[in-house]
Structure 1
Amino acid sequence: MPRSATVNQELRERSRERILAAALEVFAAKGYEAASISEITEAAGVSRGLVSYYFAAKEELAAELLDRWLDGIAGILTIQGSPDERLAGIIDGALMAAATTLPIQRLAITLMMQPTTHDVFARVEADKSVRVSQVEDAIRSVFAARGAADPAVEEMLLRATLEGVTVKLAIYRETFPVEDIRRRLYAGYNLPTPAAPLPISSPQVDRLRAK
């Protein structure tokens, strides 16, 4: 009996998701530049032709993953509450994302920073310009409501700080004191002390060392 159009669509979506998951796994293990389509094909357990059907080039795989990363950042648009509660939610959301989705965070950082792949990031960011602006404006509105003299600068500083934390967490994954950093950020913005720690590993250390 022939499969229905709905079943075929579901199978196609599963295959596409499997390829993207494999690409992220290979990019995380080998780095974007060193990763090959053949390795991604093998990790996904699909034919090379199927990979090519969905993604004509490795760059398209990276672009799709970056696209999803930017959509994840846009999750802050749903945070409700007072300005202080929204700022706390932005900080906590960024730290949780950094700790729990490290492979895609690392990929984004790599593509942003490497001269040979920066253009890939720039193109995705340009395609998502409206969404990115909405995120920036949401953060700026929080700082404006808190009486900041220059909400735009505060937004850029906060994002730079949180992205720096993500870089450090990528390097020192097993020894980075996320909770201590979180509480310091809260104090720096005069937010109430968190009532409970985030549900992620956060060792107490006085020096960062890779393991």
Structure 2
Amino acid sequence: MARSEEQNRIARERSRESILQAAVELFSERGVAGASIAEITGRARVAQGLVNYYFGGKEQLVAAVIDRWFDMLFGLARAQGDADARLAGVIDSALMATAFALPLQRAVLAMQQQPSTHRLFAEAEERHAAAVIAAEDAVRDMFRERGADDPAVEEIMLRTTLEGIVVKYAVYGATYPLEAARRWVYRIYDLPAPAEPLPLAPGSGDGEHRPRAAGAVAD
């Protein structure tokens, strides 16, 4: 029996998503240069030609991975309420994204640094410019409400702090004390201690903290 147009549409979406997810995983593991189209489509279990069909080529596939990262950032839940509640929501959302989207985080971190892919990241940033500015302004308004002398610098330094945690978690994996880092960030912003820990993977909470690169290898 022939498939309906709706079934064909769903199949196409699944194939495209499989390619995108395989690209995220392999870019995270090997970098963009180290991951071939053949390896990506092999992991996705689709024909090689579908990369050109859905994306137009490897460079466009890289751009789609970066777009996925931006979509994840802007899709994070934001807390409602006063400035303190919203700040806690920003912190928690960033750390949750770090814990549950680590391959994507690792892939994009590498793309931000490598000369061969930095241009693609910059172009994606331009595509998402309106959303980037809106997100920055929302955080700056939050700091303004908290009485900051320079809300722009406060927003930049919050982003710098959270991005630093992302990098360390990418390096050290489950041995990095993500929950303890969360509570430290709360303290430096004079926020009430969180009532509950984030639902993180084992190894990120209690005990004597000794981050080791082997923790990322085990991931």
Please indicate the TM-score interval, normalised by the length of the shorter structure. Answer: over 0.9
Once the two structures are TM-superposed, the CA of residue 30 in structure 1 deviates from its matched residue by: 1.4
Q: What is the CA–CA distance in structure 2 between the aligned matches of 1:17 and 1:148, rounded to whole Å?
A: 43
2:111: which partner in 1?
111
Once the two structures are TM-superposed, the CA of residue 209 in structure 1 deviates from its matched residue by: 2.2
2:208: which partner in 1?
205
1:29: which partner in 2?
29
Q: What is the CA–CA distance in structure 1 between the aligned matches of 2:154 and 2:84, rounded to whole Å?
A: 14
Matches within 5 A, 1:156-175: 156-175=156-175
Q: What is the CA–CA distance in structure 2 between the aligned matches of 1:26 and 1:179, rounded to whole Å?
A: 28
Q: Read off the aligned partner of 2:107 and give its amino acid letter.
A: L
Once the two structures are TM-superposed, the CA of residue 77 in structure 1 deviates from its matched residue by: 6.9
Once the two structures are TM-superposed, the CA of residue 134 in structure 1 deviates from its matched residue by: 1.0
Matches within 5 A, 1:35-184: 35-76=35-76, 78-184=78-184
Alignment deviations for residues 103-128 of structure 1 (CA, whole Å, 9 cap, x no partner): 00011111111122110100101111
2:217: which partner in 1?
none
Once the two structures are TM-superposed, the CA of residue 6 in structure 1 deviates from its matched residue by: 1.7
For residue 213 of structure 2, give the secondary structure of its aligned residue in structure 1.
coil
Q: Read off the aligned partner of 2:75 and give its amino acid letter.
A: G
The question of whether the paired residues in 2 share the 8 Å contact of 1:80 and 1:86 is answered with yes
Q: What is the CA–CA distance in structure 2 between the aligned matches of 1:124 and 1:69, rounded to whole Å?
A: 10
The question of whether the paired residues in 1 share the 8 Å contact of 2:25 and 2:104 is answered with no
Q: What is the CA–CA distance in structure 1 between the aligned matches of 2:174 and 2:131, rounded to whole Å?
A: 33
Q: TM-score of the superposition, structure 2-length normalised? A: 0.91
Q: 1:66 to 1:11 in 2, by over 3 A?
A: same
Q: What is the CA–CA distance in structure 1 between the aligned matches of 2:197 and 2:179, rounded to whole Å?
A: 7
Q: Read off the aligned partner of 2:213 and give its amino acid letter.
A: A
Q: Read off the aligned partner of 2:4 and give its amino acid letter.
A: S
For residue 185 of structure 1, give the secondary structure of its aligned residue in structure 2.
helix
2:14: which partner in 1?
14
Q: TM-score of the superposition, structure 1-length normalised? A: 0.95
CA RMSD in angstroms, aligned pairs only? 1.4
Q: What is the CA–CA distance in structure 2 between the aligned matches of 1:194 and 1:40, rounded to whole Å?
A: 41
Matches within 5 A, 1:182-197: 182-197=182-197
The question of whether the paired residues in 2 share the 8 Å contact of 1:177 and 1:205 is answered with no
Q: Give unpaired runs (5+ residues) of structure 2.
A: 215-219
The question of whether the paired residues in 1 share the 8 Å contact of 2:78 and 2:90 is answered with no
The question of whether the paired residues in 2 share the 8 Å contact of 1:25 and 1:103 is answered with yes
Q: What is the CA–CA distance in structure 1 between the aligned matches of 2:4 and 2:209, rounded to whole Å?
A: 59
Alignment deviations for residues 131-162 of structure 1 (CA, whole Å, 9 cap, x no partner): 11111111111111111111111111111111
Once the two structures are TM-superposed, the CA of residue 17 in structure 1 deviates from its matched residue by: 0.6
For residue 192 of structure 1, give the secondary structure of its aligned residue in structure 2.
coil
The question of whether the paired residues in 2 share the 8 Å contact of 1:174 and 1:210 is answered with no
Q: What is the CA–CA distance in structure 2 between the aligned matches of 1:110 and 1:172, rounded to whole Å?
A: 15
The question of whether the paired residues in 2 share the 8 Å contact of 1:112 and 1:118 is answered with yes
Q: What is the CA–CA distance in structure 1 between the aligned matches of 2:99 and 2:114, rounded to whole Å?
A: 22
